[in-house]
Amino acid sequence: MKVIEHMRSAKETLLSFEILPPLKGKDIRSIYAGIDPLMEFGPSFINVTYHREEVVYKERGHGLLQKVRVRKRPGTIGICAAIKAKYEIDTVPHLICGGFSREETEDALIEMNFLGIDNVLALRGDPTKGENHFVPERDGHAHAVDMVYQIAELNRGKYLHEEEEEAAPTDLCIGAACYPEKHPEALNLATDIAYLKQKVDAGAEYLVTQMFFDVDRYFDFVGRCRNEGIHVPILPGLKPLTSLRQIAFIPKTFHVDLPEALSKELLKCRSDQDVRGVGIAWCVDQARRLRDGKAPCLHFYTMGRSEAVRQVLDQVM
């Protein structure tokens, strides 16, 4: 079932989770261990992120360096297929521009469609380590809007080399990302929303926000999007803070602000347990306000850990 179909048939705010593929060497049971404690809350779908390979340079002697690509996590599409089969739940694989040519992107989309995966979240992805800006693959997409358009074309039966063979159209529901506090590379929120509308016009049927900690910003962002002609569902992304490290790591890495009221409480914390108490209470309040405000879905970034999200949902659901 498509994400957009879940939205259209919903009578109340839905629930979804986002998980990370495990580090290589771990098996699928590590994924199930993170999902099992959350299934009683009845999520409508589960997202699985994609992490591109890293590039390292190894010395080969005589001043020569060899460029080596390293994959640290297993494939997103395979994980989605396994989750779908075990739990009989819809899955949403993330697909990024970075590291993919257009042909490789098409191959991945064909595989998703073949496996009965009905959804895909189209993302540009981050620069690789050592790059100060995003560099697309040769013959790859530089922007998420271009991938959205390619997926929409496949849904219309238009393949890159359609003259070579007759192929049936795919039937994938297309999601895209958005940023209530603007994308870090955008000039301002207004220009970011203008680019966002291009993704919707190209075929994105729903949007998922970056995590945020200020509910007012989410509702303001949704209002601005509606004023600019963006009328697809906008799913709010939530993440309960659980450690001292996250207080610095999350704002820096994900380019989000912590509201003053939250910051004051976090600055009093002296241990991870203290942060966890504050973070869960704050996330509970966010979830309740979003549900009261008729947000279409609560989308939780679990980061592979379910306990904090479970504690939030025990108080909200």
CATH classification number, 3-316, choose in 3.40.50.300, 3.20.20.220, 3.30.9.10, 3.10.20.30 = 3.20.20.220
pLDDT value at residue 238: 98
Dihedral sign computed on CA atoms, order 255, 259, 264, 265: negative
Beta-bridged to residue 301, according to DSSP, are 18
- 45 neighbors 76 (Cβ within 8 angstroms): no
pLDDT value at residue 300: 98
Q: What is the distance, to the nearest Å, from the Cα of residue 228 to the centroid of all Cα atoms in its chain? A: 23
pLDDT value at residue 279: 97
Helix, strand or coil for residue 159? coil
- pLDDT tens track for 118-165: 999 999 987 666 667 777 788 899 899 999 999 999 999 999 886 656
Give the whole-angstrom CA distance, residue 121 versus residue 134: 19
- 313 neighbors 30 (Cβ within 8 angstroms): no
pLDDT value at residue 215: 98
- 57 neighbors 65 (Cβ within 8 angstroms): yes
pLDDT value at residue 61: 62
- Radius of gyration over every alpha carbon of the chain, rounded to an integer in angstroms: 20
Give the whole-angstrom CA distance, residue 80 versus residue 96: 15
pLDDT value at residue 117: 97
Q: Which ranges constitute the DSSP H helices of the chain?
A: 3-9, 28-35, 76-87, 102-114, 144-155, 189-202, 215-227, 244-254, 260-267, 272-292, 307-316
pLDDT value at residue 178: 98
Give the whole-angstrom CA distance, residue 314 versus residue 298: 14
Q: Which residues of the chain have pLDDT under 70?
A: 52-74, 127-131, 162-165
Give the whole-angstrom CA distance, residue 159 versus residue 156: 9
pLDDT value at residue 65: 57
Domain boundaries, the chain: 3-316
Structure tokens at 239: 């993440």
pLDDT value at residue 152: 98
